[in-house]
Amino acid sequence: MTTRATELLRVIHARPGVTRADAARLIGVGTGATTELVGRLGHAELLAEAPAAPSGSRGRPTTALIPHPRGPLIAATSITHEQWRVDVVELGGAALATIREDLGDRTGDEVVAAVGAAVARLRTEYGDRIRGIGIAVPGTVSRDLMLDASNLNWRNVDLAAIWPKAGIFVAGNDATLAASAESHRGAAVGASVALHLRVEAGLGGAVVDGGRVLVGALGAAGEFGHMPFGDPTVECPCGAYGCWGTAVDGSALARLLGHHQPRDPISYARRVIASTDPAPAAATATAATALGRGIAGLVNGLDPDLVTLGGLGTDLLAAAPAHINQAYRAGLMGFRRENPPPILPSTLGDDGPLAGAAEEAWTALLTTLV
């Protein structure tokens, strides 16, 4: 049951710096109920009031609703192929602290231990204010919090070690979480249905419907890279043939250019896409065409308002927009061609997964605060 108190906290979280009067109007309560609500939530150390920027117009000035200085916090974590990072995030999405470190040659369990130590350090500083954690990882997370990241050669890494305490624990795929971030704080704000796609080693993403990320029955939705939009003769590491991911990522570029599979396919792909030599440009164009064609298929099936591209997708969109768009339009159903959903670059870039981890953990936490 959604109470007014939860609604108010959600509004403050979604629109940091909202004024008290605006927030009351947004949730549709009168001034009397607002007095009671703000007083109660302030007393519970969930929010505080600060002088608002002067509006310049007549009337009694209102205040800005801000996170309480002793209010709850979320630890947001991301692990990428290069580094790990932990942020302490308050209501509204602002970060109070950051710890980060390169992965180096560490194993998965060593990285989890390092992240756990960082979280423990932050807990000595912030104490029980940290009510939960959100973790973005470049792989799949099972129900029992075991991480598999084929890209990093990690198998069965136990994420539970990061956060032994009770509270909120959200862990998910980086592309899925980036989709959430893009919908709440990025290029897809306001979309009723948004599709976010993230190309790194392979391709992932998510559909966000009315602010809710569709995570699927096992939490494994969004593996759009394994839809058979690609070349049916190419075998994917997943075991299937024709996976779309194998047609758009670094491995695809290497195959098109006759190179060995690169050790770091993401940096490799960035170099290829940035190159203006004819051979790399042609490979980039081919990958961009495959990307556009697949996006069209997903748009036909899922009917989003817009599509956002993250990771290497952003690079491809910048380097070969014409190839993406031509293949996109050609693949759309007739009635969509007149006014196709726009394909936009992600605005959060590499911070997307971390921001999404914070977002999903905060969403979960908000339902538990009264």
Using CB under 7 A, list all residues that contact DNA: 3-5, 19-22, 24, 28-40, 54, 56-63, 370
Task: Confirm or reject binding of residue 274 to a copy of itself (CB under 8 A).
Answer: no
Report how far residue 124's alpha carbon sits from residue 204's, in angstroms, rounded to the nearest whole number. Answer: 36
Other C-beta atoms closer than 10 Å to the C-beta of 220 total 14
When the beta carbons of 26 and 193 are compared against DNA, the nearer one is 26
Token pair recorded at residue 76:
């947001």
Of 230, 169, 171, 167, which Cα lies nearest the Cα of 199?
Answer: 230
Choose one: 112-120, 158-166, 210-218, 281-289; the region binding a copy of itself (CB under 8 A): 210-218
Residue owning tokens 């992965």: 103
| Binding partner of residue 278 among DNA, a copy of itself, none, CB cut-off 5 to 8 Å per kind | none
Choose one: 39-47, 55-63, 263-271, 303-311; the region binding a copy of itself (CB under 8 A): 303-311
303: left (phi over 0), alpha (psi -120 to 50) or beta: left
| Binding partner of residue 57 among a copy of itself, DNA, none, CB cut-off 5 to 8 Å per kind | DNA
Report how far residue 343's alpha carbon sits from residue 345's, in angstroms, rounded to the nearest whole number. Answer: 7
When the beta carbons of 26 and 97 are compared against a copy of itself, the nearer one is 26
Task: Confirm or reject binding of residue 2 to a copy of itself (CB under 8 A).
Answer: yes
Beta-bridged to residue 130, according to DSSP, are 73
- Among 17, 104, 228, 349, interactor with a copy of itself by CB under 8 A: 228
What is the per-residue binding string for a copy of itself in 350-369, x denoting contact by CB under 8 A? Answer: --------------------
| Binding partner of residue 342 among a copy of itself, DNA, none, CB cut-off 5 to 8 Å per kind | none
**Shortest Cβ 43–DNA spacing (Å):** 11
Distances (CA, A) of 220 to 33, 125, 214, 228: 42, 35, 9, 17
Task: Confirm or reject binding of residue 10 to a copy of itself (CB under 8 A).
Answer: no
Provide φ and ψ at 96, rounded to 5°.
Answer: -95, -25
| Binding partner of residue 30 among a copy of itself, DNA, none, CB cut-off 5 to 8 Å per kind | DNA
Residues numbered 243-272 forming contacts with a copy of itself, rule: CB under 8 A: none
Query: In 127-277, where does DSSP find H-type helix?
Result: 174-185, 245-248, 250-257, 265-274
